[in-house]
Structure 1
Amino acid sequence: MVEKEVAQETYEGERKLTEDGRKIIEEGETTGVNANFAAILAKHKPNPWGKGHLKLYLLCAVCFMNSTMSGFDSSLMGSINVLENYTSYYNLPTTGTASTGIVFAIFQVGQMSAALFVWVADWLGRKWFIFIGTIGVIIGTIITATATTLPTFIGGRFLLSFFATCACSASPLYLVEVAPAQYRGTLAGLYNTFYYFGSILATSSVYGAHKHLSHHGNLDWRIPLWLQMVCPALVSLVILFFPESPRWLVGKDRHEEAREFLVKYHANGDPNNPLVDLQMGEMMESLNNEPITNWRNFFDLRVLWSTRARRYRTMLNMTFAWFGQFSGNNVVSYYLPYLLANVGIKDADTKLLLNIMYALVGYIFSSAGARMHDVIGRRKMLLASTAGLIIALSITAGTAAGYVNTGSKTSSSVSIAFIFIFGAVFAFAFTSMQPIYPAEVMSNDMRAKGMGTYKITGGAAGFINTFAAPIALSHIGYWFYVFFVFWDMFEFAFMYFFFVETKGLTLEEMDEIFESKNPRKASTDVKKVKFRTVMDADGKFEEMVV
């Protein structure tokens, strides 16, 4: 694609000519932040249902199963925590206290610890790091499912979290780097929707086991613990047969393999599609200037803040990590049974059924949201969703207060309804975007380390939130919701002024956005792009942006 100034046009009979005498065969107009990419897509957009794209979707679908690990754990622990067999076996209290919090919060400790090793994905490759993570999860599951003492149980949860974080850090890296730019939001966004799939599996298994096995010793909570290893075990069997990320391949000077990937999976086997040359050129230029991590700089974190643009990228990565864990969502997902008890629902079976319904609502809305990333855009969705969270939490706090003060069943019902609405709104934008935004705002040489900072920051937010939540709910009840109402207002203002739009840009094209004086403004500056196909006197065709 050649970029040129607009040329004066003349007419020769019925033919339209440029000023240098070449015949204009076709003209068109489209919109986009990057002129070349927008023009190529307008004329050479690959069939999204072509053979190569379908194979790519299958690769992505296997990676989605890694996301079930986090959802399975959060809902599993929230569900078995209401089972008398579990709490009595480990002598845990039936109300939220510090001892309950550490059983939950150890997951965040493991997450933060594993984040220090995300650089291994640059060393060994994305798929090998996923494999190591899935094998470790199987080991951690065996320890937790057979633990006879609480310290052993907590230790097993630490290992499970550590290795789950390895797999769940490398999977978004892989998905963001292999997905075509025009579908990156959808493909990578669908990854986190399987958080709810894992949640549905966990809550359903606990409900079924409790319903039929509660009088058979500890099977009602031990069997769901064993099921935590199913999805990672399936991934471990096939992941090493997958192709590597083309960006990792370019970073390792394996250019031909990277080009073969782009031809096969992005261009549906067409080696002449200009998207292949465009992406290869951008990746080679970016990674030649800023190589990915090697053995000399595994622990050199200056890459995250050495320039103004890099500091801006890291700031977005870390703030989104904190917002994703500290918007009121962890309180609802981990402690939904306690929240239901706060508004008058005491029966264990009813709590478990509502947990299943909450997960199902989240899965539906997060799946819809994943598609909307490439239609509406990341920034607009986050702003709209945050405004919705503020409204939902405000009403939840008010109705919960009404129930506590008056015992009103109407207030109880409305409070539960808005807990579900909160979950739907959060899932629509935040859940489906968590694997995308923190990875795509980082440059190629920052991405693996950036996912480490994302996991550390998110783990810290989750630890504080999860450890403090049972204590806060026990002491201040609905006022805990009020705190998050004001916090979410702050999030909305911060996103409005600083968050950039990444919709429709290749990962390399965002370099120009972050180098600009005002990245947020540059990312939303959509331009009209004119393109044309011209024919030389010797019959050769050339495409250009004008």
Structure 2
Amino acid sequence: MADHVRDTQAGKASEIRFSHDTIGKNGQHINLDDVDGIDPSPETYAAIMATRKPNPRGPGYIKLYLLAGMVFLCSTMNGFDSSLMSSINVGQMCGALFIWMTDWYGRTWHIFFGCLGVCIGTIVTALSTNLPMFIGGRFLLSFFATCAHTSAPLYLVEISPAAYRGTIAGAYNTFYNVGSILATSSVYACHLHLSDHGDLDWRIPLWLQMVCPGIVCLFIKFFPESPRYLIANDQHEKARDIITRYHTNGDPDHPLVALQMKEMLGTVQGAPKATWKDLIDLKVLVETRSSRYRLMLNVAFSWFGQFSGNNIVSYYLPIMLDGIGITDTNTKLILNIIYSVIGWVFSVAGARLHDIVGRRKMLLSSTLGMIICLALVAAGAAGKVEYGNSAAATMSIVFIFFFGAIFATGYTPMQPIYPAEVVSNKMRAKAMGTFKLTAGAAGFLNTFVGPIALSSIGYWFYVFFVFWDTFEMAFMYFFFVETKGMTLEELDAIFEAKDPRKASVEAKNMQKRIIKERANVMADA
């Protein structure tokens, strides 16, 4: 698809739109006006939103927020597990190999089975009487948790309206901090009150892992499927009903309904229904230049989200606390709770800002802030190690908290969302598996290599991340595509351009101009 601009006569608003011609399977051109049952619409999503914006506080949107809030519990479950004991990387990476099954039987079923498996893994772990049983339970828990909390953001990205996709879907990963707060608080409370009551001190927090996945299991199958999954499986009316209910507050004649149905149908028209072989065929990830570019962004941000100094900073915090004389376990737990609370507050704000400011500006500015904070953390650590300066160690701790706030604002909301946004509908399930494999590999490196490097070269490891994050910032500037305010199908046009990054920036600038002109026309009228 190619985008073009139509300038109207003086005094009228300009309109940016995407051509109705799109590229189907095997490269054939598909005209979206030929899709049966869909009225042609020359508008883009942003142009319609400029004049016919649905009420974001309407009944349909309220239902969508409640639905999303329930799905957020999958992220809470992930944060609880990781903060309680850290996940088993092998289980995570094995679970990532099965994300493609969401294309077979649906997004909500995969979330359901993932949460059910977490409950089973929790029971095995909490009742374990020996180490092999405990490790087996942990493997099950990690495997099924990956199924749930990787398919959950995929589902949210596909069901959220483009104008609020960063806010709704982005808020998903912020609840990782809620899970971390719950886990740390439960450990703190049990350590404080049950340390003299045998193994209840550590078994109760394990049992509490069942709460969030158990709630999701009870309700997830009452939720609608992803409209894009339904379209791919010839359930067009169900998809239309979902868009009408959640995107236009029940108005079936709203132009957003026709636009989105046309776009989604255009992505599957002419393509044969997927067979079992297609479901496990990975060629879709690399078959065209645009798909390879999309996969590059998916893998790059998956790695950046786990390997930007964030995990090393949190690892070093207890050591830095020891360095300034804070050795009490309860005090350290309280400071960890505060760190998680700060992360949650800033990540929630960041989720909204990604829809206001845009992905590129948010990621670039937050990466710059992280570079500055890491440089100051390294300087403070050097002052403590080389000169025994406790004030320098205190400065390091302060900037560790600043780093956490900045990372939470820019990166946390987008960690599972941007990798899902930048891939096409037919790539998304397999690409999310790739996202989790990449994140698992980065987590493996953080877990097993990071502490060794930190103990061997000390604060120089922070210096390494200063340079690494500088590289990340340059990579983002030259290659990352802006996805704010565009439907997932409109992004197809961006990635067909010779330079997708440039095309996305120009498209956003044009949209701003058009919205401003339309506002002026409406004001004059």
TM-score of the superposition, structure 2-length normalised?
0.89
- The residue type equivalent to 1:295 in the other structure is W
1:388 aligned to 2:396?
A: no
Shift of 1:214: 1.4
**Alpha-carbon contact 2:83-2:184 (below 8 Å) kept:** yes
Shift of 1:333: 3.6
What is the 5 A alignment of 1:132-171?
Answer: 132-171=113-152
**Alpha-carbon contact 1:332-1:339 (below 8 Å) kept:** no
Q: Distance in 1 between matches of 2:383 and 2:16?
A: 51
Q: Which residue among 360, 368, 392 is the counterpart of 1:411?
A: 392
**Alpha-carbon contact 1:366-1:431 (below 8 Å) kept:** yes
Q: Distance in 1 between matches of 2:8 and 2:460?
A: 65
**Alpha-carbon contact 2:320-2:393 (below 8 Å) kept:** no
Q: Partner residue of 2:75?
A: 67
- The residue type equivalent to 1:60 in the other structure is A
**Alpha-carbon contact 1:131-1:239 (below 8 Å) kept:** yes
**Alpha-carbon contact 2:5-2:17 (below 8 Å) kept:** no
Q: Distance in 2 between matches of 1:402 and 1:33?
A: 56
- The residue type equivalent to 1:59 in the other structure is L
Q: Distance in 2 between matches of 1:212 and 1:32?
A: 63
- The residue type equivalent to 1:365 in the other structure is F
Is the partner of 1:119 in helix, strand or coil?
A: helix
Shift of 1:212: 1.1
**Alpha-carbon contact 2:299-2:435 (below 8 Å) kept:** yes
Q: Which residue among 139, 164, 175 is the counterpart of 1:194?
A: 175
Q: Partner residue of 1:544?
A: none
**Alpha-carbon contact 1:293-1:445 (below 8 Å) kept:** no
- Indicate how the Cα distance of structure 1 residues 209 and 293 shifts in structure 2: closer, same or farther if over 3 A, else same: farther
Q: Partner residue of 1:329?
A: 310
Q: Partner residue of 2:250?
A: 269
- The residue type equivalent to 2:494 in the other structure is I
- Indicate how the Cα distance of structure 1 residues 33 and 478 shifts in structure 2: closer, same or farther if over 3 A, else same: farther
Larger RCO, structure (CA 8 Å, separation 6 or more): 1
Task: Point out where structure 2 has 5 or more consecutive residues left out of the alignment.
Answer: 20-42, 519-525
**Alpha-carbon contact 1:438-1:451 (below 8 Å) kept:** yes
Q: Partner residue of 1:55?
A: 63
- Indicate how the Cα distance of structure 1 residues 7 and 396 shifts in structure 2: closer, same or farther if over 3 A, else same: closer
1:43 aligned to 2:45?
A: no
**Alpha-carbon contact 1:60-1:175 (below 8 Å) kept:** yes
**Alpha-carbon contact 1:141-1:160 (below 8 Å) kept:** yes
- The residue type equivalent to 1:185 in the other structure is G
- Indicate how the Cα distance of structure 1 residues 212 and 262 shifts in structure 2: closer, same or farther if over 3 A, else same: same
Q: Partner residue of 1:358?
A: 339
Q: Distance in 2 between matches of 1:442 and 1:378?
A: 15
Q: Distance in 1 between matches of 2:148 and 2:8?
A: 53
- Indicate how the Cα distance of structure 1 residues 380 and 290 shifts in structure 2: closer, same or farther if over 3 A, else same: farther
- Indicate how the Cα distance of structure 1 residues 411 and 243 shifts in structure 2: closer, same or farther if over 3 A, else same: same
Is the partner of 2:486 in helix, strand or coil?
A: coil
Is the partner of 2:395 in helix, strand or coil?
A: helix
Q: Which residue among 497, 506, 529 is the counterpart of 2:514?
A: 529
- The residue type equivalent to 1:222 in the other structure is R
- Residue deviations 1:450-493, cap 9 Å, x none? 00000001100111111122323333322222221111111111
Structure with higher Rg: it is 1
- Residue deviations 1:77-109, cap 9 Å, x none? 2xxxxxxxxxxxxxxxxxxxxxxxxxx4x5222
Is the partner of 2:44 in helix, strand or coil?
A: helix
Q: Which residue among 417, 437, 442 is the counterpart of 2:418?
A: 437
Q: Distance in 2 between matches of 1:382 and 1:325?
A: 14
Shift of 1:406: 2.8
- Indicate how the Cα distance of structure 1 residues 7 and 41 shifts in structure 2: closer, same or farther if over 3 A, else same: closer
Please state which structure has a larger fraction of its residues in helix. 2
Range with greater deviation from structure 2 (35-44 or 233-242): 35-44
- Residue deviations 1:13-36, cap 9 Å, x none? xxx9xxxxxxxxxx5468899962
Shift of 1:298: 1.9
Q: Distance in 2 between matches of 1:30 and 1:425?
A: 36
**Alpha-carbon contact 2:100-2:433 (below 8 Å) kept:** yes
- The residue type equivalent to 1:42 in the other structure is A
- Residue deviations 1:423-471, cap 9 Å, x none? 1111001111112100010100000000000000110011111112232
Q: Partner residue of 1:250?
A: 231
Q: Distance in 1 between matches of 2:504 and 2:517?
A: 25
The root-mean-square deviation of aligned C-alpha atoms, in Å, is 2.3
Task: Point out where structure 1 has 5 or more consecutive residues left out of the alignment.
Answer: 10-15, 17-26, 78-103, 534-546
- Indicate how the Cα distance of structure 1 residues 334 and 395 shifts in structure 2: closer, same or farther if over 3 A, else same: closer
Is the partner of 1:297 in helix, strand or coil?
A: helix
What is the 5 A alignment of 1:125-524?
Answer: 125-289=106-270, 293-334=274-315, 336-342=317-323, 344-524=325-505
**Total equivalences in the alignment:** 489
- Indicate how the Cα distance of structure 1 residues 5 and 130 shifts in structure 2: closer, same or farther if over 3 A, else same: closer
TM-score of the superposition, structure 1-length normalised?
0.85
**Alpha-carbon contact 1:32-1:504 (below 8 Å) kept:** no
Range with greater deviation from structure 2 (129-138 or 459-468): 459-468
Range with greater deviation from structure 2 (401-410 or 480-489): 401-410
**Alpha-carbon contact 1:392-1:418 (below 8 Å) kept:** yes
**Alpha-carbon contact 1:65-1:231 (below 8 Å) kept:** yes
Q: Distance in 2 between matches of 1:378 and 1:289?
A: 33
- Indicate how the Cα distance of structure 1 residues 406 and 149 shifts in structure 2: closer, same or farther if over 3 A, else same: farther
- The residue type equivalent to 1:529 in the other structure is I
- Indicate how the Cα distance of structure 1 residues 251 and 323 shifts in structure 2: closer, same or farther if over 3 A, else same: same
**Alpha-carbon contact 1:292-1:445 (below 8 Å) kept:** no
- Indicate how the Cα distance of structure 1 residues 362 and 7 shifts in structure 2: closer, same or farther if over 3 A, else same: closer
- Indicate how the Cα distance of structure 1 residues 6 and 327 shifts in structure 2: closer, same or farther if over 3 A, else same: closer
Q: Distance in 1 between matches of 2:271 and 2:463?
A: 45
- The residue type equivalent to 1:272 in the other structure is D
**Alpha-carbon contact 2:302-2:416 (below 8 Å) kept:** no
Shift of 1:7: 6.2
Is the partner of 2:514 in helix, strand or coil?
A: strand
Q: Distance in 2 between matches of 1:293 and 1:175?
A: 23
Is the partner of 1:487 in helix, strand or coil?
A: helix
**Alpha-carbon contact 1:343-1:403 (below 8 Å) kept:** no
Q: Distance in 1 between matches of 2:9 and 2:204?
A: 75
Range with greater deviation from structure 2 (339-348 or 413-422): 339-348
Shift of 1:390: 0.8
Q: Distance in 2 between matches of 1:432 and 1:32?
A: 29
- Indicate how the Cα distance of structure 1 residues 418 and 295 shifts in structure 2: closer, same or farther if over 3 A, else same: same
Q: Distance in 2 between matches of 1:33 and 1:422?
A: 40
Q: Distance in 2 between matches of 1:155 and 1:365?
A: 36
**Alpha-carbon contact 1:75-1:334 (below 8 Å) kept:** no
- Indicate how the Cα distance of structure 1 residues 208 and 293 shifts in structure 2: closer, same or farther if over 3 A, else same: farther
Is the partner of 1:153 in helix, strand or coil?
A: helix
Shift of 1:148: 3.1
Range with greater deviation from structure 2 (334-343 or 178-187): 334-343
Range with greater deviation from structure 2 (444-453 or 433-442): 433-442
